[in-house]
Structure 1
Amino acid sequence: MMTFWLTGIYWRRAKKLLLLSLLNRGDMLQPELLSVSPKDDYKLLLLYENGEKKIFDVSPYISGVWYGELKDLETFKKVRVANHSVEWEGGQDIAPHELYNNSISV
């Protein structure tokens, strides 16, 4: 009986935490990214599953040793869709919600 009662408490706590995490994720949900096309000015043309086209400016991110590798246009142009976002050959990526929320609709 005592084990069942403790299990019930833990179950209610787990449900509450799950609900809170889902509510907190609401602003991070975005449509699935279908394609990315790099532009010469360090911008990306993004196409989402809902038909939205957006432009994301990568230039503010291109600094430091790791992201600085993207200054080379040939390296920058080797971007691809990966894990609901974009990724370059060197492993550089941008969070999906940041990519979507900080881009401009075209």
Structure 2
Amino acid sequence: MKITNVYATDDYKLLIDFEEGNQVRFNMQRMVETIPFLRLRDLEVFKDVKFEDKAVCWDAPDGKPEVMPLRMTVDNILFALR
């Protein structure tokens, strides 16, 4: 499944479009309260989501090379939805 677009909403949900015409709504409200995703609590950072062929990602903060970018693959997202 290849991602063609991703939209971040004001209530911490991602709307992910796929090339087959399908769309997934992924609720991240609980995830942004966990340690790996804490920086996404800042709505501006959350809404700066990007996508690759098979993943959604957020860049590392400017000036902080010690902080890794965040990345979730389509498989991770679909598994979490089960």
| TM-score (ref. length: structure 1) | 0.61
| 1:99 correspondence with 2:77 | yes
Asked if structure 1 preserves the Cα contact closer than 8 Å seen for 2:6 and 2:50, the reply is yes
Query: Which portions of structure 1, spanning 4 or more consecutive aligned residues, are displaced by more than 2 angstroms?
Result: 100-103
Do the aligned partners of residues 77 and 94 (structure 1) sit closer, same or farther apart at CA in structure 2, a change above 3 Å counting? same
- Structure 2 residue runs of 5 or longer lacking an equivalent are 61-68
CA distance in 2, matches of 1:59, 1:93: 16
For residue 4 of structure 2, the aligned residue among 34, 37, 62 is: 34
Question: How far has the Cα of 1:96 moved from its partner?
Answer: 1.8
Aligned to 2:19: 49
Structure with larger Rg: 1
* Residue correspondences, number: 73
Cα RMSD of the aligned pairs, angstroms, is 1.8
Q: Which residue identity lines up with residue 100 of structure 1 in the other structure? A: L
| TM-score (ref. length: structure 2) | 0.77
Question: How far has the Cα of 1:83 moved from its partner?
Answer: 4.8
